[in-house]
Copies of this chain bind each other. A is one copy, B any other.
Amino acid sequence: MGILTMIGIFGANGFIGRHLVARLAAGPERVRAVSRHFDPVFAATLPPEVEVVQADLADDIAMASALADLRVVVQLVSTSSPGLQNRYAVSDIRDNVLPQVSFLEACVAAKVERYVFLSSGGTVYGQPQTLPIPETHPARPLSSHGMTKLVVEQYVDMYGRLHGLPYVVLRVANPFGPGQTFRKGQGLIPALLQRHAQGLPVRIINGGEAIRDFLYIDDLTDAVAASIASPAAAMRTINVGSGEGRRIMDVIEAVEAVLGQRFAREDGGRRDSDVDANVLDITLARDLLGWSPRTSFLEGLRRTLRG
């Protein structure tokens, strides 16, 4: 009676994508994993019922084909990065915003019934006027990464209203968990581990005083799953974070405590595109998604460092 929901995960090979594929493949829905490239070990260990499609977001024809029969799209693809700061604003528009908008048009044509876009709660707001930050806070990014996320959000909203593409924008805090690698300057914990493994001191940016909102990956994939299922979430932009702020230096010390080791440190100077503090108000996520983070920071850290 009726077909099962087919969920397409675009950007399936990344840190969030891999966890999300595992999470959703364990449920009743059919899952299609789409990525520009796949790590061979990851691809080989996928359950056989997961469809694997290798296709680039910038390839309109491949995307139209990758969208066939999908009722739900989760869009995780992101080519820009907070770590690259603002050196590549123009190419971020060309390589990220342009294919995302083209893809939105393809989703409208494919009559997708739910479009979940993962945005960046850590960068779209810019310098916060209040903490925790509600979704109604002005969005004035201070980085090209945050700006491209905001711009794509706005196109998602416009296409959603003009063409009846029911979307959910999730503004995600700093996710962490097993399998996160240090790529494109993202991920504090893998960055620490990588520097330490290389025998290099850990670079302390802005004195380690910045405050961030760290969300354990299983809580994030729970929120994505809820945003696919919840009728109340349609056409909404929703913060997804732990709701708690932590000093970067406290996180470094917590990692040291769990590992039972101490990292050498060096002063990494200042980075202007970094805001002093970012903690997301997650009231709306609780109300609309019936979701709450369930993993304590320390428990998440233990699971991350165990792997």
Contact = CB atoms under 8 A, between A and B. Distances in A.
Contacts of A162: 86, 142, 272-273
A98 B96 CA distance: 12
Contacts of A213: none
Nearest to A98: B93
12 contacts: A86-B162, A89-B101, A90-B98, A90-B105, A93-B98, A94-B98, A97-B97, A140-B157, A141-B158, A147-B158, A162-B272, A162-B273
Number of copies: 2
A78 to B, nearest CB: 17
A101 B93 contact: yes
Contacts of A155: 89, 147
A-B pairs, 4 with minimum CB distance: A90-B102, A151-B151, A90-B101, A93-B98
Chain A interface helix/strand/loop/mixed: helix
Interface residues of A, number: 24
Contacts of A90: 98, 101-102, 105
Given A90-B102, A101-B90, A101-B93, A161 B142 contact: yes
B93 A97 contact: yes
A154 B158 contact: no
Contacts of A150: 154
A34 to B, nearest CB: 20
A97 B162 CA distance: 21
A104 to B, nearest CB: 8
Nearest to A144: B158
Contacts of A94: 94, 98
Contacts of A101: 89-90, 93
Interface string A94-128: 10011001100100000000000000000000000
Interface in A250-294: 272-273
Interface string A134-163: 000000111000010011001101100110
Nearest to A273: B162
Contacts of A89: 101, 105, 155
A132 to B, nearest CB: 21
Contact of A158 (B102, B140, B157, B161): B140
Contacts of A141: 154, 158
A189 B89 CA distance: 39
Nearest to A146: B158
A140 B158 CA distance: 7
A150 B97 CA distance: 14
Contacts of A98: 90, 93-94
